Structure 1
Amino acid sequence: MCGLENFLLLTTKPVSLLKECFDTFGQPKVIAHTLHSCNQNLGICCVGTEKGLLMTTEMQEIAIMEDKPLLTGQTDSVKEAEIAARLLLDRGQEYNIETPHGFLHVTLHGTGSTRRPAILTFHDVGMDSKSCFSSLFKFEEMQEIVKNFTVVHVDAPGQEEGAAPYPAGYHYVSMDQLAEMIPSVTQFFNFRTVIGIGVGAGAYVLSKFTLKNPDSVEGLVLINIDLNARGWMDWAAQKLITLTSSLAEQILGHLFSQEENSSNTELVQAHRERISTASNLTNIDLFWKSYNNRRDLSIDRSNTLKCPVMLVVGDQAPYEDAAVECNSKLDPTTTSFLKMADAGGMPQLTQPSKLTEAFKYFIQGMGYMASSCMTRLSRSRTTSLSSSYSLEGSRSRSRTLSQGSVGGNMPPSPSNTMEVSC
């Protein structure tokens, strides 16, 4: 497929007609294998220029034009069309980037020219960047952050929506190799530094990348992190589960808490359906096996992550204990531990408001968005701080706040690491 770097949407038709230009997933149908794609009946024309490995389905520049002045009564229809067109900008530009271990599919939101670090995300097993992060990054309160940073979502090889299944016997990349592919992404976009957000397997990959490239990462948000390789007991249990459970059920046990799976919540049902019917199920299985064969990250106090880290886990989540162990191995002066009540296994989907607030104060702690106003969670944290501190003052490493976010000034203590329950 040829690349389209820039293309222009010209329309005077009502917004209802624009729907015919998109498939059921909201992707434009007017993009073809040619540089010029037009639909005269709808009055829509896309014009683009070729550029290397770029693959995009979005618009960078939009203009609403008419040969004659607008007639009375047409203003609302044209405005609706313009709004619908501009909504496409939120979908981002898609790229296939060559790396030492194959191609990575990434989606860029923003210009990429900001002097601030880019926000780079990496999803979990059984998901892609859209299913893992769309709810969080489309959340209303998150837009204040998104408009100030370039955001790039990375898909593990073969995990993006619509990816072709790998052939039988295909040798999938290891978790170490996945981490070695990230520098190609930052170099492609000329990112000097990034703030990483990883979930599960993605948290492992970004941690590995940060250990090898400490100067490239300004901060990390690690959700459901597990630093350790599977032990013999875990390996035996996984073998038994493989014999008795489908791939979808295995991954659901990884993504969600036992309570969520037992209750068969709507979120669990939706992901079961999505995984079971995925056209790239073979690829998902390969990624799942690669994650289960991961090695220990070998992090301890003498060899730890150098950047600020926010650990996030839902209460009763499958990796709650692993996140607590990770917390004990990180620098207490630069680590925050966010344990989220009623969040289950995927807090970025079930509690986007609280996670957004926590992330806002995390990046404020790095000196960005200092003028952002205090909101509900920070006010709650302020009022509950003194009582929580007095109750937990004997703890040498962490202290629990009854409600809260991650910013603000903490009372003096032997350790600056904090555990925040909200």
Structure 2
Amino acid sequence: MGDSSDSVSIDMETPSLSGKEYVIETYYGHVSVSVYGDQDKPALVTYPDLALNHISCFQGLLFCPEACSLLLHNFCIYHISPPGHELGAATIRPEDPLLSVDDLADQIAEVLNYFGLDAVMCMGVTAGAYILTLFAIKYRQRVLGLILISPLCNAPSWTEWLYNKVLSNLLYYYGMCGVVKELLLKRYFSKEARGSAQVPESDAVQACKRLLDERQGLNVWRFLEAINGRRQDISNGLRKLFCCSLIFVGENSPFHFESLEMTSELDRRYSALVEVPACGSMVTEEQPHAMLIPMECFLTGYGMYRPPKLSVSPRSTLSPICISPELLSPESMGLKLKPIKTRISLEV
């Protein structure tokens, strides 16, 4: 890393950032999975938001050296792409049936079966968070815990439904046009990150725009139809979840209220909320550093955090000496925590 006073010198084998691509045939069609890390380690399954894949949704988090060490040192990561969202994907055939959110959740179970995985940790963003939460409700024994970023939990409101319908029509008739990309960027990022006439766009926004150019409009339309067609309010299912949940949401996210409501439905003994100021929905790209300490405490509570051998500066965010397990001064991190404690009791 750099030579700044905040640098961390890691005395360990650097985790490999090269993944292996799998195309898996399921009852619901082909699905692409990118696997990073040692498959003998516990599994972390990710699922991105609409029109994204693991490159455009999680690279900011995984390119953050501390987060990369935290996650790849402790997990093998299985990035599941929504059908037709993987790099280089062709347009899905028009005769292929549209999938529902339940189909997509069941498809995850088939992916786990393919790799011989039993119980996994899950991380999802917005639409992907809904799919993984639905999967956790349907297959409770197969989910160890949930890390959710700006999640959804209700059927679409009339406002969301109408907004998505406009976006759906644009995608169907015009593909990934400029208007569609602007609407998607508003979904992902805060106004500050998107810039203005006086302030340039952030690097994360510019990278996301380039990656959106690679998406096939009709494939994105299919995923949007599934998400906009969700009719299931999963609040009752949330009350029956006993795996721990860590929820991140940007205060400027269009789904901020949804995330707060979801937190209120979860058992407070097993859940925590981290609100990130001046951030949109995609915390993984806009402010990935805000996720580090809460995730470390969360994983430590599961016994899944194995501290690497570190030569650290006193201010390192990953120093086992300096981390308070209960985050007594969240203001120093620029975070608002609800509840303040992100180490959660695992008693069931």
TM range (shorter): 0.7 to 0.9
Partner residue, 2:184: 251
* Pair 1:342–1:231, CA change in 2 (3 A): closer
Aligned to 1:310, which of 220, 226, 246? 246
Aligned to 1:195, which of 114, 117, 121? 121
CA contact (8 A) 1:301 1:329 kept: no
Q: Is 2:38 the counterpart of 1:101?
A: no
Q: Is 2:109 the counterpart of 1:173?
A: no
CA contact (8 A) 1:112 1:189 kept: no
Partners of 2:166 and 2:195 in 1: CA distance: 20
CA contact (8 A) 2:238 2:266 kept: no
Alpha-carbon deviation of 1:279? 5.1
Alpha-carbon deviation of 1:370? 5.8
Q: Secondary structure at 1:333's aligned position in 2?
A: helix
Alpha-carbon deviation of 1:258? 4.5
Partner residue, 2:313: none
Whichever of the two has the greater Rg, that structure is: 1
Identity score, percent:
28
Amino acid at match of 2:121: I
Per-residue Cα deviation, 1:27-60 (whole angstroms, up to 9, x for no partner): xxxxxxxxxxxxxxxxxxxxxxxxxxxxxxxxxx
Alpha-carbon deviation of 1:237? 4.2
Partner residue, 1:283: 219
Alpha-carbon deviation of 1:406? 2.2
Aligned to 1:137, which of 38, 54, 62? 62
Partner residue, 1:77: none
* Pair 1:374–1:181, CA change in 2 (3 A): same
- State how many pairs are aligned: 308
Alpha-carbon deviation of 1:331? 0.6
Per-residue Cα deviation, 1:86-115 (whole angstroms, up to 9, x for no partner): 99952211111122211110011223123x
* Pair 1:181–1:320, CA change in 2 (3 A): same
Per-residue Cα deviation, 1:299-326 (whole angstroms, up to 9, x for no partner): 2388432200001101111111110000
Partners of 1:270 and 1:283 in 2: CA distance: 20
**More deviation in 260-269 or 95-104?**
260-269
Partner residue, 1:124: 49
CA contact (8 A) 2:90 2:216 kept: yes
* Pair 1:97–1:337, CA change in 2 (3 A): same
Per-residue Cα deviation, 1:333-387 (whole angstroms, up to 9, x for no partner): 00010111233221111222221222111111112226574376648933569xx
The TM-score, its normalising length taken from structure 1, stands at 0.65
Q: Secondary structure at 2:298's aligned position in 1?
A: helix
Per-residue Cα deviation, 1:281-310 (whole angstroms, up to 9, x for no partner): 221222122212222342238843220000
Alpha-carbon deviation of 1:133? 1.0
Amino acid at match of 1:281: G
Partners of 1:384 and 1:148 in 2: CA distance: 25
* Pair 1:262–1:170, CA change in 2 (3 A): farther
Per-residue Cα deviation, 1:154-211 (whole angstroms, up to 9, x for no partner): 1111100100112345433111100000111111111121000000111001001100
* Pair 1:219–1:250, CA change in 2 (3 A): same
Partner residue, 2:320: 374
CA contact (8 A) 1:196 1:206 kept: yes
Per-residue Cα deviation, 1:55-102 (whole angstroms, up to 9, x for no partner): xxxxxxxxxxxxxxxxxxxxxxxxxxxxxxx99952211111122211
CA contact (8 A) 2:74 2:304 kept: no
Aligned to 1:226, which of 152, 156, 159? 152
CA contact (8 A) 1:208 1:297 kept: no
Gaps of 5+ in 1: 1-85, 386-391, 393-397, 410-415, 417-422
Amino acid at match of 1:250: L
Partners of 1:357 and 1:320 in 2: CA distance: 21
Partner residue, 1:331: 267
Amino acid at match of 1:110: G
Amino acid at match of 1:97: I
* Pair 1:321–1:147, CA change in 2 (3 A): same
Where do 1:19-418 residues align within 5 Å?
89-114=16-41, 117-142=42-67, 143-168=69-94, 170-239=96-165, 246-261=179-194, 263=196, 265-266=201-202, 267-275=204-212, 277-278=213-214, 280-300=216-236, 303-369=239-305, 371=307, 373-374=319-320, 378=324, 381-383=327-329, 399=338, 401=340, 406-407=342-343
Amino acid at match of 1:181: Q
Q: Secondary structure at 1:235's aligned position in 2?
A: helix
* Pair 1:406–1:135, CA change in 2 (3 A): same
CA contact (8 A) 1:256 1:318 kept: no
CA contact (8 A) 2:74 2:306 kept: no
Amino acid at match of 1:293: G
CA contact (8 A) 1:242 1:250 kept: no
Tell me the C-alpha RMSD between the 2 structures: 3.1
